Amino acid sequence: MAKRKNLFWTPCSAHCLDLMLEDIGKIEKVKKTIEKGIFLVGYIYNHSIVLNMMREHTKNAELARCGVTRFATTFLTLQSLQKQKPALRNMFASEQWTSGKWANERKGQRANDIVFTPTFWNNVLLTLKIMGPLVKVLRLVDNEKKPAMGYVYEAMERAKLAIAAALGKDSNEYILVSEIIDKRWNCTLHHPLHAAGYYLNPEFYCYNETIESDKEVTVGLHDCINRLVPEKAKQDLIMAELI
């Protein structure tokens, strides 16, 4: 970078978002919910007879198993559990389960308790509301179909608004989550390039009259112009043509 002073260095957006999700996963309520969800899925898939029983009730629909490389996979695990909630409850209430040896085993009893605990499912919904909007942004930046630079800024703003609407802007949960998002966003992900990409994206500029009055966006744009184009005369031409 010392040799190329007019270029920007920016971290991987997908990695930053994954770290953001990981930080959210450390919230005590979210952490315990994820642990229970991973245990439940792991228990089912580690016992072939129980797995076959589950497939009978879900009509061969599978549960998403948590991966070790991306924290976002925990969202998919909880999402699949929520989708199959009625089927899982029917399975654990069935005679096939209650009369089998698994219902009397310690791990089987724990899995049964998780499925029939209302608090667990309430916390699953809470976690999905928090992580869902951020996972959408992650999918946007982690695709190879189109460049994401012109969409990251708006996507993050939309994600924060969605989380605020889901949790309540004045709720303790939102305040905590907002602090986590802002910390990662301000320290690593927020960048003049994202602001400039947002400003120069016709999809947003042509339909948002507030872009030109958004100080954060315009400052980011000007920072990019000043750095990428060192000649003052060219900078003046660019500023004249922006209008």
At residue 189, the pLDDT reads 72
Report the pLDDT averaged over residues 92-114. Answer: 94
The tens digit of pLDDT for each residue in 6-43 reads 787 788 888 889 889 999 999 999 999 999 999 999 99
Q: What is the mean pLDDT of the chain?
A: 90
Domain ranges in the chain are 13-190
pTM over 0.75: yes
At residue 115, the pLDDT reads 97
Provide the pLDDT confidence category of residue 117 given band limits of 50, 70 and 90. very high
Single-letter amino acid, residue 60: N
At residue 144, the pLDDT reads 78
The tens digit of pLDDT for each residue in 200-222 reads 999 888 888 788 888 888 999 99
Which is more confidently placed, 7 or 172?
A: 172
Residue 53 in contact with residue 16, Cβ under 8 Å?
no
Indicate the DSSP class of residue 145.
Answer: S
The tens digit of pLDDT for each residue in 182-203 reads 988 887 777 888 889 999 999 8
Q: How far apart are CA 165 and CA 71, in angstroms?
A: 24
Q: In the chain, count H helices and then E strands.
A: 14, 0
Cα Rg of the chain, angstroms = 23
